[in-house]
Amino acid sequence: MFKMRAIILAGGKGTRLKPYTTLIPKPLVPLGGECSVLELVILQLARAGFTHITLAVNHLADLVRAYFGDGKKWNVLIDYSLEDKPLNTVGPLTLIPDLPENFLVMNSDILCNLNFKKFYEEHVKSKNRVSVAICSRESVIDFGVLKYDADHYLTEFHEKPVYHFDVSMGIYCLSRSVVEELPKGQPYGFDRLMLEGIKNKNKIYIHKFDGFWLDIGRTEDYQYADEHFAEIKNKLRLE
């Protein structure tokens, strides 16, 4: 039986969500007039069997601490790791002294119905050092796209093409050994972890997910989540 630990990155300023985040931190923006987005994430993790959650905080950290306390309300242990400067997405992990051998890491502004327990257990059983959850997204270009040769003569034309991509969900599992190799207390991003992993020929496992996923870091996505909260709660199996 695994004892599961999760680290939630809750230190961002939420610049893209202004004016909602002018006075409150992004993880505490309300949804449907019922609860904060981070509260939903914590509830999901607790129900999935995670017993210890660390919130990596920075911007308006005291408000986050006051809201979640020690986690008793959600039957989970919550503690905090405070950054005195922004450390991007992976750098905050280097400040946590008691990381277990394996742990889950995720952003604080994600709504999805990923099976967190299964994702974590697959990571551990496969002895992966890094596992990344991804899902498919499409991007529509609202223009006619032209391609031409070296002599500037047209070779292709596509009217409002649709491109499909596999994108990171902002959810991953790591081995402690990965963090131990990083510079302590220095900014270090997920992008750098991926690029250096490719350069060094490290094996990074990709976990394909085809369920519901919404990153509410943008104003339009937050407004959608707020307006469709009842429907989203059902998708998150919280009813």
Q: What is the pLDDT of residue 18?
A: 53
Q: Regarding beta strands 4-9 and 162-175, do their DSSP bridges make them parallel or antiparallel, or are they unpaired?
A: unpaired
Q: What amino acid occupies position 206?
A: I
How far apart are the C-alpha atoms of 184 and 190, rounded to whole Å?
15
Work out the pLDDT band at 29, boundaries 50, 70, 90.
confident
pLDDT in tens, 58-99: 878 888 999 999 999 999 999 999 988 889 999 999 999 999
Domains, the chain, ranges and CATH?
A: 4-132+166-235 (3.90.550.10)
Secondary structure letter of residue 198 according to DSSP = H
Cβ 83 vs Cβ 57: under 8 Å: yes
Helix residue spans in 73-217 (DSSP H):
116-125, 176-180, 190-199
Judge whether residue 25 has pLDDT over 80.
no
Q: What is the pLDDT of residue 2?
A: 64
Q: What is the pLDDT of residue 84?
A: 86
Query: Averaged over 191-202, what is the pLDDT?
Result: 95
Nearest to 211 by CA among 169, 181, 175: 169
Q: Is the dihedral of CA 110, 111, 113, 117 positive or negative?
A: positive
Q: What is the pLDDT of residue 16?
A: 52
